Amino acid sequence: METSLKIAAALTSLCEWAARLAAVLLFALVAVIIYDVVGRKFFSTGSFILQELEWHIHGVIAVFAFGYAYTRDAHVRIDVVADRMNNRFRLWLELAVVVLLVIPFFLFIAWYGYEFALRAFERGEGANGGRGLPNRWIIKSAVPISALLTIAGCTAVALRLFAVLKRPDLITSAFVERGLWKR
């Protein structure tokens, strides 16, 4: 059990690094938009490249923190009815659903997402119409990477759920409290 908690900690920390990258990119996105707007309005620079860069950065911010948010229990739950359910049953249910359905779902996304990005790489796909950023495979690989990070987050939560159910003396919650930047 101690080993599986160590694995959970390592996977959690992987999710955290991805989320930190996304956090830093928030500032990068602000900077690119400001540079683009100021350039276009006042110096008539601005370009397709900048506008493409905007949604590229957005894409990474949008999908890189799925796993992180799950380790923090930040995803919405509709608990109006479920409050009356047995707590252990809820934990077992979450464990079963995550292991049997959600992780396979994202393995599927990771695999076909990888093929999707690989295809773009092999064909040397660039921007639509040729203007804009080349090498579409880079941003397309955000899909499989995000799926893998989600699997990492799901596995970490599943291992912790199992520990909570079997060894409540070791941990009492499947989720981590600390913030993104705290060690």
Residues near another protein, by CB under 8 A: 19, 22-24, 26, 29-30, 32-34, 36-37, 41, 51, 54-55, 58-59, 61-63, 65-66, 68-70, 72-83, 85, 90, 93-94, 97-98, 101-102, 104-106, 108-109, 112-113, 115-116, 139-140, 142-144, 146-147, 150, 179-181
Q: Give least dist CB 54 to another protein, A.
A: 5
**Contact 78/158 with Cβ under 8 angstroms?**
no
**Contact 12/67 with Cβ under 8 angstroms?**
no
Q: Give least dist CB 149 to another protein, A.
A: 10
CB-count burial class (<10 Å; 0-12, 13-18, 19+) for 9: middle
Q: Give least dist CB 5 to another protein, A.
A: 21
**Cβ neighbours for 15, distance < 8 A, ≥ 6 positions apart:** 65, 67, 68, 70, 71, 149, 152, 153, 156
Residue 79 or 167: which CB sits closer to another protein?
79
Fill in the DSSP letter of residue 26. H
| Angle (nearest 5°) at CA 175 between 171 and 180 | 120
Residue 52 or 163: which CB sits closer to another protein?
52
Q: Give least dist CB 10 to another protein, A.
A: 20
Q: Give least dist CB 2 to another protein, A.
A: 27
How many other β-carbons are positioned within 10 Å of the β-carbon of residue 72? 21
Fill in the DSSP letter of residue 86. -
Residue 2 or 83: which CB sits closer to another protein?
83
Residue 49 or 90: which CB sits closer to another protein?
90
Residue 6 or 178: which CB sits closer to another protein?
178
**Contact 32/50 with Cβ under 8 angstroms?**
yes
